[in-house]
Structure 1
Amino acid sequence: MTDKFAGRTAFITGGVNGIGFGIARAFALAGMDLILSYRREEDREEAGRWFDENGLPQPRFVKLDVTDRAGFAQVAADAGKVHVLVNNAGVSVFGPTDEASYADYDWIMGVNFGGVVNGLVSFLPGMKAHGEGGHVVNVASMAAYLSGPQAGIYTASKFAVRGLTESLRYNLAPHGIGVSLMCPGLTRTNAWTSALKRPDDFADSGFKPADAAELEQFGTAFELGMDPLEVGQKTLAGMAENRGLILTHGEFAEDFAEIYQTSLDALPKEDIPEGRLHIERLRRAANKAAADGKAIGLDDLT
């Protein structure tokens, strides 16, 4: 089924390394035309070599900071018809949440959530206008479900992407545009180096200065991760099935079982007024209708 995207154009942020490049390679092997954003020339050149070595057409490379709204708008204007949007670029920065500064919040949320917003605002009008359907993939993380003591802001950004994506799926169904939240687990990338690339504008961190040796030790865990190409292939397969949630790693059943049971246990055991039950039945019915392609308004909820 993945051949349904052959010949279609995809724009991928951060598409020249890590998970973004894994997705780009999977798309290229499926016959898609690619536009890839990048920040570092070395990464662009290395990605370009892979396409040459594999006898595949060179993508269109565009230099872009995903927090640059004007730059994003220009890329969208120059791109022509785009069918697949992959909002992938992000930063992985960790530290005790209670020590975080405004700069920590502004940087991490600005890239991980704001970058997704900028991609949507820039590209969705054109994707809806051409009327040929398509797909949006917002790359989050298992941190969209699993929190931890060292990743508060990162987790907040991924929870935000999750909520946005789940809602957007209802909005775009009437336009024939699928929407998927892709949550990868441990993947063989250099995401751990993000803290060493902190922009000067966000230098006032509440976290202790990044220790290169400590980060390198943390980075050894990533060497055990999944090949990014496999993540890309699983992403493409999920798109072909129009799955709202694409989970690429299978080792989280214990965590999901605990989340499910904890959530059920937290519900009060009490009689519920019929009026409240009625409103929730309307909400569920509206969501189902939206998933089937109906545009939903506020009057559908009361």
Structure 2
Amino acid sequence: MSFQGQVAFITGGVTGIGLGVAQAFSDAGLRLALSYRNEDHRAQTAAWFAAKGREEPLFVKLDVTDRAAFAAAATQVEARFGAVHVLVNNAGVSVFGPTDEASYADYDWIMGVNFGGVVNGLVSFLPSLKAATGRRHVVNVASMAAFLPGPQAGIYTASKFAVRGLTESLRYNLAPHGIGCSLCCPALTRTNAWDSALKRPEAFAESGFAPADRSELEQFGTAFEAGMDPYEVGTKILAGMERGDGLILTHPEFADDFRAIYEKSLAALPDEEAPPARLEIERLRRAAMAAAEAGTIIGLSDLT
């Protein structure tokens, strides 16, 4: 069963990876609702769809941290299309600085968008996905930072680790409803994500980081020119959805990193025997996870 004709809501869907996903979905015959913040980007996206002779998406102006607006967006999308089958939580900010100097405002802004925006999307749209029929799927777009920390990316990394943990657990909850769930972790992509720090909202102005230096950020942004085309990321997300993949990795250049994580993790385990009672609890946990992935609703009683 394909996703052709299904309705997808994509946050941050008019630039960067979100736009690449929207274009790939459109090419596959999905109908679209896209959230946006910038009117020029919305107009450019509308022009792309018009040039292709495609149905214009429903454009929803949305701050993903605004829960009331997110709930209203879900109502608006349902009113237009009648059902929502695919949710792509993509919107995010890329803001960096030494974590030991971060202020509460830094935490509140970055976590509020990158993790809170995903939470708001799930709470607002999962009832619609559960009520819909046909093939359905949730994609939470994180980053390779969900696996790889860095000295300038502490809060950003925390937000992406949080999205990873949430998504990997959510997959087991959605399986009994026949809804697929994927964590997507793209790496360097040709976007304007480097300029997020220049768009800091006034409500979060009390930063512990040094003031954003445009020239320094522009130099950092040159790295993004070597990135993957967002449309390619979008096609890989769609292919992963069609296969039902729980994890979608779009970039191939991280084998050494994953090997190092695996080896360090194994080496950190104590070299000793675990008692039978603990081994039995972990056996039950593994069995419950396998059953959940196969579509069984798991309760606390299944873990002991």
Query: Same fold, TM exceeding 0.5?
Result: yes
Which residue pairs with 1:68 in the alignment?
Answer: 66
1:56 aligns with 2:54: yes
AA paired with 2:21? I
- Of 153, 175, 200, the match for 2:202: 200
Q: Displacement of 1:133 after TM fit?
A: 4.2
Q: Report the 3-state secondary structure (helix = DSSP H, G, I; strand = E; otherwise coil) of the residue aligned with 1:36.
A: strand
Give the SS at the match of 1:258.
helix
Residue 96 of structure 2 corresponds to residue 94 of structure 1: yes
Q: 2:272 aligns with which of 245, 270, 278?
A: 270
**Contact preservation (8 Å) 1:133, 1:175:** no
What displacement does 1:132 show? 3.3
Residue from 212, 219, 222 that aligns with 1:220: 222
Match among 281, 299, 302 for residue 279 of structure 1: 281
Structure 2: gaps of 5 or more residues: none
CA offsets, 1:2-56, max 9 Å, x none? xx00000000000000000000000000000000000010010011111112221
- Secondary structure of the residue aligned to 1:44 is helix
Which of 130, 133, 149 is matched with 2:132 structurally? 130
Unaligned runs of 5+ in 1: none
Q: Is the 8 A contact 2:58 2:77 kept in 1?
A: no
CA distance in structure 1 between the aligned counterparts of 2:227 and 2:129, rounded to whole angstroms: 34
Residue in 2 that maps onto 1:247: 249
Indicate which of 28, 31, 34 corresponds to 1:30.
28
Q: CA deviation at 1:131?
A: 3.9
Structure 1 stretches of at least 4 aligned residues deviating more than 2 Å after TM superposition: 130-133
111, 114, 129: which one aligns with 1:112: 114
1:178 counterpart letter in structure 2: G
Report the 3-state secondary structure (helix = DSSP H, G, I; strand = E; otherwise coil) of the residue aligned with 2:257.
Answer: helix
Contact 1:127-1:133 within 8 A present in 2 as well: no
Q: What is the aligned length?
A: 300
The answer to whether structure 1 residue 146 and structure 2 residue 148 are counterparts is yes
**What is the letter of the counterpart of residue 153 of structure 1?**
I
Q: Is the 8 A contact 1:19 1:232 kept in 2?
A: yes
For residues 44 and 96 of structure 2, the distance between their equivalents in structure 1, rounded to whole angstroms, comes to: 28
TM-score, reference length from structure 1: 0.98
* TM-score between both structures, scaled by the size of structure 2: 0.98
